[in-house]
Amino acid sequence: MAEERPERAGFVGQSATGPQDQMQVFGRSGQGPHEMMRAMEGPFGPDNAVRQALTAIWRNLPANDRSVERIEQEARRLFERALAALREDGEAFGFGDPQG
């Protein structure tokens, strides 16, 4: 018996209920991309990103140097570096000042 295939929705290999159709629904709802991502991720987006970063740090440390303390040390170092770059970019590009 032949397997039934869902209708295609614009891209080869994607069904009519695929991600692009969900994006179109958001587009029709009047939400912009920021609101759409916020609605899709909910409060778990930032938490998930941090956990993925911690996992990446663990994977990239030498096997004999993997410990909770070492992962925490590297995470803090990387986070502080990223915050410093954010502050510098905010000054250079004029964003981040709620008064400005």
In a domain? residue 53: yes
- Reported confidence tier of residue 56, pLDDT bands at 50, 70, 90: very high
Tell whether 47 and 74 lie within a shared domain: yes
Tell whether 70 and 85 lie within a shared domain: yes
Tell whether 33 and 63 lie within a shared domain: no
Give mean pLDDT, residues 52-61.
97
The answer to whether 57 and 75 have CB atoms below 8 angstroms apart is yes
Tell whether 47 and 28 lie within a shared domain: no
- Reported confidence tier of residue 54, pLDDT bands at 50, 70, 90: very high
Tell whether 32 and 73 lie within a shared domain: no
- Report the run of H or E that residue 23 belongs to, with start and end: helix 19-28
Total number of domains constituting the chain: 2
Distance between CA atoms of residues 30 and 7, nearest Å: 26
Q: Which residues pair with 15 in a beta bridge?
A: 8
Distance between CA atoms of residues 44 and 41, nearest Å: 6
Tell whether 47 and 88 lie within a shared domain: yes
Tell whether 50 and 84 lie within a shared domain: yes
Distance between CA atoms of residues 17 and 14, nearest Å: 8
Tell whether 69 and 87 lie within a shared domain: yes
pLDDT, position 70: 98
pLDDT, position 18: 56
Tell whether 55 and 83 lie within a shared domain: yes
Range of the structural domain that residue 85 is part of: 43-93
